[in-house]
Amino acid sequence: MCDACVNLARSFAAWEVRLYLDTHPEDISALALYRRLCAQECGGYACVPHERDRWSWIDDPWPWELEANLPGKEA
């Protein structure tokens, strides 16, 4: 496989693992895989850090919950 194809495959895999981590934030093996893929991809500079503000959005009220639709709440 050519170098460009390997880089594309690695980038795709890192993105897929990141999406998986959005719904499975406690999966330590997936987080380790994500970090390993990022380290291989341009020395880690190509991946967006996933630790910053780590999954805090999941604790906020969802659009269909009453708390998210009360007056005075910003979207």
Each residue's pLDDT, cut to its tens digit, for the chain (75 residues) gives: 788 888 888 889 988 998 999 888 889 999 999 989 888 876 655 566 555 556 677 778 888 888 888 887 555
Please tell me the distance from the alpha carbon of residue 72 to that of residue 25, in angstroms, as a whole number.
Answer: 30
Residue 44, sorted as left (phi over 0), alpha (psi -120 to 50) or beta, turns out to be: left
* Tokens coding 24: 């499975």
Predicted TM-score of the model (pTM) = 0.57
Q: What does the pLDDT read at residue 42?
A: 61
Q: What does the pLDDT read at residue 19?
A: 92
